[in-house]
Amino acid sequence: MIRCRTSIERWELLEAFATARDSITHIPVLVASLSGIDGQRGWAEAAGVDYDGETPQSMAAQIAAVAPALHDHLTGDELLRLLPAGGARNALDCALWDLRAKESGIAVWQAAGLRPPRPVLTVLTIGLGDEAGTRRKARAATGYPILKLKVDAERHVDVVRIVREECPEARLVVDANQAWSRPLLERLLPALEELGVELIEQPLPRGEDAALDGLRSPLPLAADESCTDRGSLAALAGRYQFVNIKLDKCGGLTEALAMTREATRLGFGLMVGNMCGTSLAMAPAFLVAQACRYVDLDGPLLQRLDRDPPIRFASGLMHAPERALWG
């Protein structure tokens, strides 16, 4: 039987990170470790989906409940049936991929039938703040080619204008984290287009996606909170042009890879995102990023410390994780 251990860690951010939903100073994560019959160990990290009530403690309890079912020949497809989408399954699934890679000596990308991974360009996220703080963060981000700006129902176009003044050449993505209504979206679209925004992420609350029916937006919309696993995709068609795949939402790399195929079949553009965390959390998502137009895997850049060895970032260019870390 596969032996499973979990532990809870808390990682400090460089500074408070604010969105339309909340403001945080630390990232609590669950680390799952799986040991096989030959003593090899695979591990993974999950932050979970906080707005669905997930915590490291609740994820650890989910994993403890299914631990007796983790047999020596367990597969990712079995985990899809064993646990629902969410952080607990993500931690187990990604730890299982890592374990199998260490047991076989075959890298995860090879075992998954993917091409050799190449570096990808990730956004750098600028959290919500006052004008002085936004300018300071924008000036510090001048070397990054693409920035993602957190906005809410009151702070939106002004945030974009400030960042555009400080970073005139940067590509810009805006993330409302469900804070807008359709009337507000329609009112803001002309100004956002004029300022060169190229993607708007989750403008409306999840569950209100039908309000987007008939909207002729000059800018593409990406579903984040409204997009969970493959089962959520059909309802997003015709309302969003991109979907944001996050391993904590969909429940691991196995489901994420299946989502990339299904979302592509349905005509969606692809984005991969994160719920914050260390390089260990970003490593499996890096493989999903290989198929994505937009990559948002900057979690480690927002923290004071990281894993050893960390993923290497250079002005937004994200390199493949070392196998000593994962995969």
Specify whether the CB–CB gap between 228 and 199 falls below 8 A: no
Three-class secondary structure of residue 63 per DSSP: helix
Catalytic, 137? Answer no
Chain Cα centroid distance, residue 129: 22
Specify the amino acid at residue 288.
V
Per annotation, catalytic residue among 102, 137, 148, 246 = 246
Query: 3-state secondary structure string, 108-141?
Result: HHHHCCCCCCCCEECCEEECCCCHHHHHHHHHHC
Per annotation, catalytic residue among 102, 148, 150, 249 = 150
Three-class secondary structure of residue 105 per DSSP: coil
Give every CB contact of residue 261 below 8 A, 6+ residues apart in sequence: none
Q: What residue spans of 51-123 are helical by DSSP H?
A: 56-66, 76-82, 87-104, 108-111
- Give the Cα separation of 166 and 237 in Å (integer): 36
Catalytic, 102? Answer no
- Give the Cα separation of 165 and 16 in Å (integer): 23
Q: Which residues are catalytic, by number?
A: 150, 246
